[in-house]
Amino acid sequence: MLKKILFTFVCAAISTTVFAADEVKIGMLQGFTGPTESLVAPMALGGEMAIKEVSDSGLFLGGKKVVPVRGDSTCIDAAAATAAAERLVTSEGVAGINGATCSGATTAVLNNVVRPNGIVMISPSATSPALTAIEDDGFFFRTSPSDSRQGQIIAKILEREGIKSAALTYTNNDYGKGLADSIQAAFEARGGKITAVAAHEDGKADYSAEVGSLAAAGGEVMIVAGYVDQGGAGMIQASLDSGAFDRFVLPDGMVGESLTNRFGDALNNSIGTNPGTDSPGAAMMAKITADKDFAGDDPFVPECYDASALLLLAMQSAGSTDSAVYKDHVMKVANAPGEKIFPGELAKALEILAGGGDIDYVGGSAVELIEPGESAGNFRETKIDGGEFKTMQYH
């Protein structure tokens, strides 16, 4: 009896191994439980859709099948994320990981699993600036931009507009502080001067004191890293009332119609930036998911699709599923030169790569990877003209 059971087990083990030989596994290491669970549900489906698309094409590495294997990285439990990644790598033997969802979990997995095992990991949604500088041995990429990207974009715009000094106020939370720090660092690196930095609390009726202290420091413009329906608008109101500032720089939290509805022409010539792209990728994502039960343009769904696609296209380009080999091909397939690849065109990409050609993967989120392997992000620059946000250009 015991022999029989043992035999079955051995058979099963052998058959899995045999079966796995022409099957490549990709780990979907996402925060399926915890604070991101509603966000992740469509994200993971988007990532798996790209895997299925590649697998069904029959063109991947001479006709190999690709299957996703899910692992729960949670969002805030680094130990659980590490354990899930460990399982994916050692017992499932995945060739690459699409994940993790949150920055904290991603950092833990990167240090404890990715680097020791030498596995490529592409995160669709970790945006912490700390991940830019982290030591990754070339195994880690992300299809979402660092939170500090917007600061660099704003600094670039200010330099182009000839603005040399600015006062900076931020809403007193992690978002505001992080954004303000990145704007200040980037602006000062370009030779600009932040005359004063003042936090403002949301939910107050009066911001004249905050504006007063910023006005004392001076500056050609006021950068308002706040919220459009909260203290950010209050800061602008108090500035206009006291005549302290009449030109503003408005990061993403401040770009909204309620602002122009409230202040109208008083804001003319102010500059806004917010995530946005003129790439048709997002619309195409929405189209190819039209018959699915999730929306292709939900938050981070295009990024997750792109993360899976980049993993597989890099493997195709390298002709190998060995992380140490194909890690050097991720940047190559993501960036120019080459044929532009949009969502739903993965078969075409595989074909070009198999023929030795070059591709420039655009995907759903208009991916452009910059060193050290993260998305440059896409930002829309607007200027208020005639009391309305007008798109100037995309960065």
Partner 1 sequence: MEILNALALLANFVVVPATAYGAQLALGALGVTLIFGILRFANFSHGELMSFGTMAVILFTWVLQGQGVIIHPLPTALLALPVGILVAIVLSLTTDRLVFRFYRRKRANPIIFAIVSVGVMFVYAGLVRIVIGPDDQSFADGARFIITAREFKELSGLAEGIAIKQTQVVTIAVAVAVVAAMFWFLQKTRSGKAMRAYSDNEDLALLSGIDPDRVVMIAWIITAALATIAGTLYSLDKIYKPFIFLQILLPIFAATIVGGIGQPVGAILGGFVVAYSEVMLTYAYKKFLAYLGPSGWAPDSLVQLLSTDYKFAVSFIILVVVLLVRPTGIIRGKVIG
The binding site for partner 1 (CB under 8 A) comprises 172, 196, 198-201, 203-206, 208-210, 212-218, 229, 234, 237, 241-244, 262
Which run of H or E residues covers position 339? strand 339-341
SS3 62: coil
In terms of CB distance, is 244 or 301 closer to partner 1?
Answer: 244
For residue 270, the minimal CB distance to partner 1 (Å) is 17
For residue 174, the minimal CB distance to partner 1 (Å) is 16
Is the separation of the CB atoms in 231 and 201 below 8 Å?
yes
28 phi, psi to nearest 5 deg: -100, 90
Report residue 142 as tokens.
């992300």
Length of the chain: 395
For residue 159, the minimal CB distance to partner 1 (Å) is 24
Helix and strand counts by DSSP (H, E) for the chain: 16, 16
What span, in angstroms and rounded, lies between the C-alpha atoms of 200 and 231?
Answer: 7
Is the separation of the CB atoms in 55 and 49 below 8 Å?
no
Residue 69's nearest CA partner among 54, 53, 47 is 47
For residue 261, the minimal CB distance to partner 1 (Å) is 11
For residue 331, the minimal CB distance to partner 1 (Å) is 44
What span, in angstroms and rounded, lies between the C-alpha atoms of 259 and 387?
Answer: 9
For residue 83, the minimal CB distance to partner 1 (Å) is 41
What span, in angstroms and rounded, lies between the C-alpha atoms of 107 and 136?
Answer: 10
For residue 195, the minimal CB distance to partner 1 (Å) is 9
What span, in angstroms and rounded, lies between the C-alpha atoms of 335 and 358?
Answer: 10
What span, in angstroms and rounded, lies between the C-alpha atoms of 207 and 342?
Answer: 47
In terms of CB distance, is 56 or 206 closer to partner 1?
Answer: 206
In terms of CB distance, is 237 or 320 closer to partner 1?
Answer: 237
In terms of CB distance, is 262 or 287 closer to partner 1?
Answer: 262
Residue 125's nearest CA partner among 141, 101, 107 is 101
- In angstroms, the Cα distances linking 210 to 35, 170, 178 are 34, 11, 19
For residue 202, the minimal CB distance to partner 1 (Å) is 10
